[in-house]
Amino acid sequence: MRSIFTTGAAALAAATILSGSAFAESHAALSGDLVIFSDMSNPAPRAVMEGMVERFGEMHPDLNIELTIIDREAYKTQIRNFLQANPPDVANWYAGNRMLPYVEAGLFTDISDLWEEGGLTETLASTQASMTIGDGIYGVPYTYYQWGVYYREDIFEELGLEAPETWDEEIANCQAIIDSGRFCYTIGTKFLWTAGGWFDYLNMRTNGYDFHMALTNGEIPWTDDRVRATFANWQQLIDMGAFLENHQTYSWQEALPFMVNGEAAAYLMGNFAVAPMREAGLTDDQIGFYQFPQIDPSIEMAEDAPTDTFHIPSGANNVEAARAFLLFVTSAENQTLINGGDGLGQLPVNSQSSVDDDEFLNAGFEMLSQNSPGGIAQFFDRDAPAEMAQVAMQGFQTFMVDPSSLDSVLDRLEQARQRFY
């Protein structure tokens, strides 16, 4: 249901107007209706969305903004219908493979010129690849969060270990941790997606971002020797006993206590795991973070950083206002504001933004803005079609439990690739 925007209750709605931005001055005469559909339905994201709309509206008093917020799960089932039948001027969605069907169907507008004219190719450089399909750029990101290795810094200090930068250092650290009677990594693969994170990193470090994207797009057979090389690196860790036993019986939350109580030394996970670590009693002095180590020095480092986005549907009526709104959303000032602790509590995508004084947010911002030249992936179950992701992640779990199953797993994944693509 469409509703005219009304003031939200969050503090964000009362924030300082970003009136100094150059793009605001250049679009001072915006008028007409700007229709925005959003899936930011949870309380904090909703307040962020309403705050952005209010601030943008105050900058453009002759513009009538109509904001419709739809439940996130319902939005996923409705987006294709409304993009075809009655498209808004701006719509929320996701980067990477998730936007591919709408680009191929001609439902999202190519805004490559906006990226160039607005300086986004510099300020949003880390996310450009994930917003690009073919020769076009089809939206802008507004938030993301890092993945990486969170580890027990106090255990590393006890064992005389440093955060590793190379695969050889990772293996050596892992052996020292095992020798101390601990698991290197906790993990819960009961719901499969955590195994997808391990495959993402091992494959991007073994074969690179472009190969990984081609694989998840169905362009490369799963029986390819380069895929087998990824699994060989994975098996090196499995064979040495690096992973928590019986991980297939635990969710990611249920696997967390093994790191909290010191039975495991590290966790490959998204930044959302920090809050429950703190709530469980770990202090920031006990927790460290490092970028997943390099395996092949010739391959640029790429990261998983699931990215939420805005797009201009191809049937938009007020394109000028939509373009101005996207530039507003991605400005350094707005990015700092909406991603702070009172907002999304995630990372700004604009490299000129600042982040809250949080050790892990700062580490993630530096890594994604400066140390990830290889590209930003969206996570396996976003980069691959849903049907393929389910079969593949089940295969990853099977392989982790029984590495001798590799041939049958890869054959099953290849059959799925031929069927689903």
**Structure confidence by residue, pLDDT tens digits, 327-367:** 999 999 999 999 987 789 899 999 999 998 899 999 999 99
- Angle formed by the axes of helices 209-216 and 193-207, nearest 10°: 130
- Assigned architecture for domain 11-144+307-353: 3-Layer(aba) Sandwich (3.40)
Q: pLDDT tens across 237-277, in order?
A: 999 999 999 999 999 999 999 999 999 999 999 999 999 99
Of the listed ranges 6-20, 73-87, 214-228, the one predicted with least confidence: 6-20
10 in Cβ contact with 48 (< 8 Å):
yes
DSSP state letter for 178 = H
pLDDT score recorded for residue 28: 57
Question: How far is 291 from 162, CA to CA, in rounded Å?
Answer: 13
pLDDT of 11 above 70: no
At 94, give phi and psi (nearest 5°). Answer: -135, 160
Both tokens of 65, joined, read 């903004």
**Bridging pattern class, strands 183-185 and 264-270:** parallel
Q: DSSP per residue over 301-339, as a string? A: -EEE--EEEEE-BTT-S-HHHHHHHHHHHHSHHHHHHHH
Confidence at 41, pLDDT banded by 50, 70, 90: very high
Helix (H, G, I), strand (E, B) or coil at 164: coil
Q: pLDDT tens across 399-416, in order?
A: 999 999 999 999 999 999
pLDDT score recorded for residue 20: 39
pLDDT score recorded for residue 357: 87
Q: pLDDT tens across 383-401, in order?
A: 998 899 999 999 999 999 9
pLDDT score recorded for residue 345: 87
- Residue 15: closest CA among 331, 310, 336: 336
For the domain covering 147-304+378-420, report its CATH number. Answer: 3.40.190.10
Region(s) of the chain under CATH 3.40.190.10? 11-144+307-353, 147-304+378-420
pLDDT score recorded for residue 340: 86
What does pLDDT average to over the chain?
Answer: 92
224 in Cβ contact with 211 (< 8 Å):
no
pLDDT of 16 above 60: no
Question: How far is 204 from 335, CA to CA, in rounded Å?
Answer: 28
Of the listed ranges 144-148, 234-238, 338-342, the one predicted with least confidence: 338-342
- Residue 380: closest CA among 251, 142, 217, 145: 217
Q: Please, what is the end-to-end C-alpha distance for the chain in angstroms?
A: 35
Helix (H, G, I), strand (E, B) or coil at 158: helix
Q: Max alpha carbon distance in the chain (Å)?
A: 68
Alpha helices (runs of H) in 245-290, residue ranges in sequence order? 252-260, 274-279
3-state percent helix, strand, coil for the chain, nearest multiple of 5: 50, 15, 35
Enumerate residues 6+ apart whose C-beta is below 8 A from 77: none
pTM of the predicted model as reported, rounded to 2 decimal places: 0.86
329 in Cβ contact with 186 (< 8 Å):
no
Enumerate residues 6+ apart whose C-beta is below 8 A from 301: 205, 291, 294, 371, 372, 373, 374
pLDDT of 6 above 80: no
187 in Cβ contact with 297 (< 8 Å):
no
